[in-house]
Structure 1
Amino acid sequence: MEFKVGDIVKVKDIEDLIKRGRCEEKTARHISGVKFIINAFFVKSNKYELKAKTGSIVYCYEDEIEKCEDIENESIKNDRKDDKIMMDLLPWPELEEIAKVYTAGAKKYGPNKWQNLPDGYQRYKGAMLRHLTEVEKGNEIDQETGCMHIAQVAWNAIAMLHCKMEEMKPHSEKIPENANDIDK
C-alpha cells in the first residue's frame, strides 16, 4: 500500500512488533488503537514518522501500518493534505539567533530601518559575504554586536529576499519610504 504525508494510519499488529523486538509492551499499550498522522517519510528505509494527537511520535515501517478509513466523525486537521505551508518545520533555535541580529540592528539603527536601505540588495549581499568570510576564517562571534557571524549571514540573506520581493511587487503595492510622500 502506498502512504503519503498527511495520511491517517494505525499500527497493524502490536503483538508482532513486540515479538520482533520493535516495541516494548509499555509502549505497545500507549499506541494500540491510536490513530496517527504520517508526519514524514524516510525513503531509504521505507520508514514513517507517525504523530498522534497527543504529540507523541512513533517510527514504523510501511508493512507495520495500515490506513484508517473510519475517520468521518473525527476532527482531524488536513493541513498536510491541503498543501498548507508547514510553519512547524521552521528551525526555532536558529531563528532565535537571527532574531538577535534583528534586535542588535534595531538598537543601533532603529526598528525596521533596514527595509528602506537604498541599493539594499547589493549592500546586504556585501555584508553577507563579509560575515561569511569571518565564519570561514574561524571567527564565530561578531565583536560589535555579540551575534554569531553565521546568523548575520542568514539575516542578510533574508534582507536580500525582502529586497527581491519588493522589486517583484507591482508599483501600486509598494509602501512609500515616508508616509508623507503619499499624494492626497
Structure 2
Amino acid sequence: MHDEQDHRSPAQAELRRRLDEGRALARLDQTQLARNAGVGRGTVSKALSPRGGVPSVDTVTLLARALKLPVVELLELRRTAAEETGAASADVPGPGRPIGQWEPHDHPAGPGQSTSGAVGVRVLPGYVRREHDQVLSDVVAEAAEGHSGIVVLVGTSSTGKTRACW
C-alpha cells in the first residue's frame, strides 16, 4: 500500500497505518467506523487511502476517539503530514485547540475516584449545575443558530470553569 504519496509523507503513511490498524483491532469495517465516528463513509475511505490527502483535524479527532486511539499523538502526526505535503495546516487557527479535540480527563484537575472501586476507570469529579450554566447554555444555543457571542468565565483554580464550559 506504499505509493508516491507515502514516500513524500512518512507521517501521513504512519497516520493512515495507525488509524487502519485501530480499525482492524476494533473489528470494524469502514462503514461501521464511519457510523461510530459520526462521519460519512467517504470521509473514512479518504482518511485511510494513500490517495486521500491529509485528513482534517476534525476527521482525525473523530476517528481516533471512535477507535480509542491517542488523539493528541495522531493530531501531531497529522500536523507533520500537512507540513510534509504542503497541505493547508491552518485547520486550527491561533493558539490552543478546539474543545472538540479535548478529553474531559485532560484537565489538570485530574480524574476523580471511581464510585464502584474499579481500578483504572477514569471518572470526573461530581458537578453541580449553577446559575451561570444556563447563561453558558443559552450562548451556545445562540451560536448553534448562527448568532455569535462571547462569555468570559472567571474564577480561581479548580472552581469548575472548564467543567462548566465542557
What's the TM-score, normalizing by structure 2? 0.28
**Where is the strand percentage greater, Structure 1 or Structure 2?**
1
Structure (1 or 2) with the greater helix fraction: 2
Instruction: Tell me the TM-score normalized by structure 1.
Output: 0.26
